[in-house]
Chains A and B, each alone.
Chain A
Amino acid sequence: DAKTTQPTSMDCAEGRAANLPCNHSTISGNEYVYWYRQIHSQGPQYIIHGLKNNETNEMASLIITEDRKSSTLILPHATLRDTAVYYCIVFLAGGSARQLTFGSGTQLTVLP
């Protein structure tokens, strides 16, 4: 059973905020939410992760609902280079690498 559910694809206008949703209704208390992305023909790239609180770094912001059953990755000013597949991953703290399962992700297309 998939731990996360993401839309298959989304479009966003260049310069606007891209909001990528993820449902993880069965998340447990010590599981983190991680986001990676894969730009075409490149390896996956770590973006951000969080447990309960909202997080922000130079790439994006992560908003986690209070019940932790869903989250949203926000790219504040999307550029054409942000076109990629975005993966939302639920991961147990202290877990193993095999638990980092990428799923199908959301294909984000940033339009000029």
Chain B
Amino acid sequence: EAGVTQFPSHSVIEKGQTVTLRCDPISGHDNLYWYRRVMGKEIKFLLHFVKESKQDESGMPNNRFLAERTGGTYSTLKVQPAELEDSGVYFCASSQLAGGFTGELFFGEGSRLTVL
């Protein structure tokens, strides 16, 4: 069974440019989450989708970040325009919906974003 996959694994962009990160959750997982670790900091929650709906986006840092999950399958996280402080690793995770949120998440390998 395929795990959570993320693309690209590494992206290097100039300040002010746009980057779109993609996450494909495990098949059948209705819950999809985005987390990130910016340099030297801890892993922080960004947002949570249940199917195509945003359940919680309280962790999104500002309106330069836009997450979508059209059709309830894969998700994209767009950063526009990117700033230097956005550099870090963006993790996607998924879990099944049944039984509600249990804290047992399956994470992808992460997408490393470097803003120059």
- Taken together as a complex, chains A and B put the C-alpha atoms of A3 and B56 apart, in Å, by 22
Interface membership of B107, Cβ < 8 A? yes
Q: A98-B48, A98-B58 are in contact. Are A44 and B101 (CB under 8 A)?
A: no
Report B111 CB to chain A, min CB distance, Å.
10
Contact of A46 among B56, B101, B106 (CB under 8 A): B106
Contact of B48 among A38, A91, A96, A102 (CB under 8 A): A96
Contact partners of B59 in chain A: CB under 8 A:
98
What is the interface of chain B mostly: helix, strand, loop, or mixed? loop
Interface membership of A53, Cβ < 8 A? no
Residues of A40-78 contacting chain B, CB below 8 A: 41-46, 49
- Taken together as a complex, chains A and B put the C-alpha atoms of A38 and B100 apart, in Å, by 24
> Do A98 and B45 touch across chains, with their CB atoms under 8 A apart?
yes
Contact of B33 among A38, A97, A101 (CB under 8 A): A97
Q: A34-B103, A49-B103, A100-B105 are in contact. Are A44 and B43 (CB under 8 A)?
A: yes
What is the interface of chain A mostly: helix, strand, loop, or mixed? loop
Report A73 CB to chain B, min CB distance, Å.
15
Q: A44-B43, A46-B104 are in contact. Are A97 and B109 (CB under 8 A)?
A: no
> Do B103 and A42 touch across chains, with their CB atoms under 8 A apart?
no
Q: A43-B93, A95-B101 are in contact. Are A100 and B107 (CB under 8 A)?
A: no
Extra 18 A-B pairs, beta carbons < 8 Å, given A43-B109, A44-B93: A34-B103, A41-B109, A41-B110, A42-B109, A42-B110, A43-B93, A46-B104, A94-B100, A97-B48, A97-B55, A97-B56, A98-B45, A98-B56, A98-B59, A100-B103, A101-B42, A102-B43, A104-B42
20 inter-chain pairs at a CB distance below 8 angstroms, sorted by A residue, are A32-B103, A34-B103, A38-B43, A41-B109, A41-B110, A42-B109, A42-B110, A43-B93, A44-B91, A49-B103, A91-B103, A95-B103, A96-B55, A97-B105, A98-B56, A98-B58, A100-B103, A101-B42, A101-B44, A101-B45
